[in-house]
């Protein structure tokens, strides 16, 4: 949900054998950040962030085309739905399995080269997938390309997440995350439309080649940006993973939110996404598409609004935003019409967008720079680990008890999850006003040193 979405939970600092070396924003920076308003225009005028943002924007719009283009390409080949599920799984599973490795690599090596290589490989694999469909080669070739694509994303995503603090000042992280989140919502709106236009004008697989080209353009735009050097000494891979896990455990609020994320995706998001289309399409043709557009609009506006806000308790606000996720399954279970469901989806999109912006910003401001990519990767793995299981279990359980009881459970579970989060005092009080005493150590930045 976060980091992803791409989606994360504080208490007292962990008392392990080694104390976590937390680099916090100084009191002066916090005070200044509280007075300043997030301004998007000056941020986009900054050369480094502007180029990074354009690179991300191009690749995101290309990615948004893929689900629709892939489905239409398989339909054109008269392939069964099993192939679509297999290709989606081939792209997701390697990413989840290798994210931790990508996090270790991104913290040990310069981040920009990893991002460039990942984008280039992703571009070539998507062009390869398009070539399989255009030339009529066996679909196993496209399946292999999607698996390589997922592996490459596992290396590139943690580097991209850890690179953002190298592009902007600490006080601008919220606005920077908001811009990326807002464009994600915009891409979600434009992607299916572009795929449909491509299918109307020619083979739908051409859109997959366009996605590949977007990755190659993204890689070219990253050239010349700061390398995003590691701030810590090289560590063995096993030790690096342990340090990342210790860093996550040292932030109990983040650990708690990661656990809540995983269960919400399992018990709320998966049942709604699997059972929702069939129920909504019986209400009105293209009703599900309207719900997806409403969610994307909420995501867009929620990101922009949250990026301009200066909140005293951002993580509490993020947790409360999750309540909106329970509205769509609640209304669907109660037999509400499409207009009410669209409104609920809009609020859910806004809540998820706010959650992502606030949590990602808190992670980037709190976690030491030399562990940031690992913490982001491990947290993402924890959040999304059960989602594939949810996709499998939801239809099986619905065949036994019916879809409505599962949707009621999803709504109740959302409320219980948010209650579990806000019951944590440290999570409620986390914010820029809280006093945090930096721990002196090797990971602490020196004044004036390049981030």
Nearest C-alpha neighbor of 311 from the set 365, 258, 264, 262: 365
Contact 219/120 with Cβ under 8 angstroms?
Answer: yes
d(CA 399, CA 403): 8
Nearest C-alpha neighbor of 191 from the set 289, 55, 306, 82: 289
What is the biggest distance separating any 2 CA atoms in the chain, rounded to whole angstroms? Answer: 62
Sequence-distant (6+) residues with CB within 8 A of 111 are 159, 160, 162, 163, 166, 227, 228, 373
Average pLDDT of the chain, as a whole number: 77
Range with the poorest average pLDDT among 49-63, 220-234, 330-344: 220-234
Asked whether residue 446 carries a pLDDT value surpassing 60, the answer given is no
- What pLDDT score does 348 carry? 94
In angstroms, the Cα distances linking 135 to 80, 205, 214, 223 are 19, 10, 21, 33
Asked whether residue 26 carries a pLDDT value surpassing 60, the answer given is no
Nearest C-alpha neighbor of 313 from the set 148, 137, 434: 434
d(CA 269, CA 417): 13
Please classify residue 393 by burial: count the beta carbons closer than 10 Å to its beta carbon, then call 0-12 exposed, 13-18 middle and 19+ buried: middle
Contact 358/257 with Cβ under 8 angstroms?
Answer: no
State the Rg of the chain over Cα. 21
Q: Helix crossing, 252-264 with 403-422: angle to 10°?
A: 170
Task: Read off the pLDDT of residues 242-255 as tens digits, 9 standing for 90 and up.
Answer: 776 777 777 788 88
In angstroms, the Cα distances linking 79 to 1, 24, 82, 139, 221 are 31, 53, 8, 9, 37
Contact 383/265 with Cβ under 8 angstroms?
Answer: yes
In angstroms, the Cα distances linking 402 to 263, 275, 406, 441 are 20, 10, 7, 56
Task: Read off the pLDDT of residues 342-390 as tens digits, 9 standing for 90 and up.
Answer: 999 999 999 998 898 888 888 888 887 777 777 877 777 777 777 777 7
d(CA 126, CA 124): 6
Task: Read off the pLDDT of residues 427-440 as tens digits, 9 standing for 90 and up.
Answer: 888 766 443 433 33
d(CA 377, CA 247): 12
Asked whether residue 450 carries a pLDDT value surpassing 80, the answer given is no
DSSP reduced 3-state for 38: coil
Sequence-distant (6+) residues with CB within 8 A of 273 are 391
For residue 272, what are its two tokens? Answer: 């709604």
d(CA 385, CA 191): 26
Model confidence at 441, pLDDT cuts 50, 70, 90, reads very low
Asked whether residue 122 carries a pLDDT value surpassing 50, the answer given is yes
Sequence-distant (6+) residues with CB within 8 A of 84 are 70, 71, 74
Place of tokens 């289309």: 277
Q: Give the DSSP H or E segment for 285.
A: none
d(CA 15, CA 20): 8
Is the backbone peptide bond immediately before 6 cis, with ω within 30 degrees of 0?
yes
More confident residue, 265 or 443: 265
Query: 0.75 exceeded by the pTM?
Result: no
d(CA 171, CA 247): 22
Q: Which CATH superfamily is domain 27-429 in?
A: MFS general substrate transporter like domains (1.20.1250.20)
| Torsion (CA) 351, 352, 357, 362 in degrees, nearest 10 | 90
Contact 252/10 with Cβ under 8 angstroms?
Answer: yes
More confident residue, 177 or 241: 177
- What pLDDT score does 234 carry? 55
More confident residue, 9 or 189: 189
């Amino acid at each position: 949900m976060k980091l992803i979405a791409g989606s994360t939970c504080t208490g007292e600092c962990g008392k392990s054998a080694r104390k976590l070396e937390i680099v916090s924003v100084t009191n002066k920076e916090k005070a200044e950040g509280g007075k300043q308003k997030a301004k998007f225009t000056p941020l986009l005028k900054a050369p480094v962030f502007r180029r990074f943002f354009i690179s991300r924007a191009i690749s995101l719009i290309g990615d948004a085309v893929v689900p629709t283009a892939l489905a239409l390409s398989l339909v054109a080949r008269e392939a069964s739905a099993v192939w679509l599920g297999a290709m989606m799984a081939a792209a997701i599973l390697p990413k989840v399995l290798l994210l931790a490795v990508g996090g270790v690599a991104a913290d040990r090596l310069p981040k920009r080269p990893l991002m460039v290589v990942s984008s280039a490989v992703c571009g070539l694999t998507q062009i390869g997938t398009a070539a399989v469909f255009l030339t009529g080669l066996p679909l196993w070739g496209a399946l292999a390309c999607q698996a390589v694509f997922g592996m490459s994303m596992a290396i590139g995503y943690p580097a991209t997440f850890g690179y953002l603090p190298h592009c902007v000042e600490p006080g601008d992280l919220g606005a920077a995350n908001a811009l990326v989140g807002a464009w994600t919502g915009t891409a979600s709106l434009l992607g299916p439309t572009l795929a449909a236009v491509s299918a109307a004008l020619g083979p739908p697989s051409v859109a997959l080649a366009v996605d590949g080209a977007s990755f190659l353009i993204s890689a070219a735009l990253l050239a010349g940006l700061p390398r995003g050097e590691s701030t810590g000494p090289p560590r063995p891979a096993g030790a690096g993973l342990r340090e990342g896990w210790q860093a996550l455990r040292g932030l109990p609020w983040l650990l708690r939110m990661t656990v809540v994320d995983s269960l919400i995706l399992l018990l709320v998001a998966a049942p709604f996404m699997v059972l929702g289309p069939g129920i909504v399409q019986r209400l009105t043709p293209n009703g599900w598409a309207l719900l997806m557009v409403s969610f994307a609009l909420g995501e867009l506006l929620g990101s922009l609004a949250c990026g301009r806000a200066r909140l005293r308790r951002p993580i509490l606000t993020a947790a409360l935003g999750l309540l909106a996720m329970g509205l769509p399954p609640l209304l669907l279970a109660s037999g509400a019409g499409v207009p009410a469901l669209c409104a609920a989806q809009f609020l859910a999109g806004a809540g998820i967008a706010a959650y992502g912006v606030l949590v990602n910003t808190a992670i980037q401001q709190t976690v030491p720079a030399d562990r940031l990519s690992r913490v982001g990767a491990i947290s993402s793995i924890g959040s999304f680990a059960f989602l594939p299981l949810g996709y499998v279990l939801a239809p099986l359980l619905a065949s036994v008890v019916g879809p409505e009881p599962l949707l009621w459970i999803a709504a109740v579970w959302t409320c219980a999850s948010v209650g579990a989060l806000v019951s944590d005092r440290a999570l409620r009080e986390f914010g820029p006003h809280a006093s945090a005493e930096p721990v002196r150590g090797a990971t602490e930045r020196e004044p004036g040193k390049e981030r």
